Amino acid sequence: MKAFHKIFFFFMLIGIFASCSSKNKEEIVAKAFDYYLYKSELKGIIPKGSTKNDSIAITKNFINNWIHQKIILHKAEKNLTEEQKDFTAQIENYRNSLLVYSYESKLIMQLLDTAVTNAQIQEYYEKNTDNFLLKDNIIKVNYVKLTKNSAIKEKVKSMLFSEKDNKNQLLDICSKQAVNFFLEDNEWLLFNDLLKEIPIETYNQESFLKSNRTLEIKDDNYIYLINIKDFKIKESTSPLSFEKDNIRNIILNKRKLLLINKMHDELFDEAVKSNEFKIY
């Protein structure tokens, strides 16, 4: 019996040493307290096509971040009680939340009616007009950006500022010779977005919009021709066309909520009928 125990102990030691030997064969690239970073853990951190210098920098950054993390982790391990380090309940709650979210997402993909008509959007807008106040100034505008010495400036200017319907001809000219242009009559834009494209200098946007309709602006390289078709000042009621996508999303989110609540109620009713739970 003693011989058997000796043999068993001998083979157990061989297994332990073999395991340690296998681990020791792996190259260690960093150590912090009792934590080790192995070379195999660096696989995949360097994007394809990286230069040698970039690869070195990425690797050094990864190792430094790993060391910082382990130093803080070591400090946390030493200074927290076993009770404080027990995250079993939080992990279980997080897992449960993920499961429920995944199931609800699958249900929404299968059953949600994503068709939203213009009539439904119009109805929602009319019932909730007070909720649609502009946070910024918006405009309807046509503009053309040309090189400073462009030979077509006067022709484009005449057509852009004209009341005649020459949109197709203007589009054709601009698509061939303009640096940039925007010729959509029915689309609202944020005035701040226009300022990113055109060097308009104004300290009072509202006053500027009220007193300007057609403009020609120049800088060192370009000429900007602008025709402001319409505008709305912030804090006024936002137009339906500007809120259309927003309202569509609101309607869909309301449908999602109704669908999920209906599912919850149906599952609860089924559980009640089949006596699947008790309250003690």
CB-CB contact of 138 with 205 (8 Å): no
pLDDT on residue 36: 93
**DSSP percent split of the chain into helix, strand, coil, nearest 5:** 55, 15, 30
* Angstrom distance (rounded) from CA 191 to CA 241: 16
Amino acid code (one letter) for 222: Y
First CA to last CA across the chain, in angstroms? 55
* Angstrom distance (rounded) from CA 26 to CA 39: 7
Report in angstroms the alpha-carbon separations of 230 from 193, 198, 258: 15, 17, 39
3-state secondary structure of 200: coil
Amino acid code (one letter) for 232: K
Amino acid code (one letter) for 212: N
CB-CB contact of 206 with 137 (8 Å): yes
Walk along the chain (280 residues) and give the pLDDT tens digit of each residue.
Answer: 444 444 444 444 444 444 444 455 789 999 999 999 999 999 999 998 899 999 999 999 999 999 999 999 999 999 999 989 899 999 999 999 999 999 999 999 999 999 999 999 999 999 999 999 999 999 999 999 999 999 999 999 999 999 888 889 999 999 999 999 999 988 999 999 999 999 998 889 999 999 999 999 999 999 999 999 999 999 999 999 999 999 999 999 999 999 999 999 999 999 999 988 888 8
CATH number among 3.30.420, 3.10.50, 2.60.40, 3.30.470, domain 135-232: 3.10.50
pLDDT on residue 26: 81
Per the DSSP assignment, residues forming a β-bridge with 147 are 222
**Burial letters 206-238, b for 16+ CB under 10 A, else e:** eebbeeeeebeeeeeebbbbbbbeebbeeeeeb
For the chain, how long is the longest CA-to-CA vector? Answer: 110
Amino acid code (one letter) for 223: I
For the chain, domain boundaries: 26-79, 87-133+241-273, 135-232
pTM listed for this prediction:
0.69
Phi, psi of 186 (to 5 degrees): -105, 10
pLDDT on residue 231: 95
pLDDT on residue 96: 95
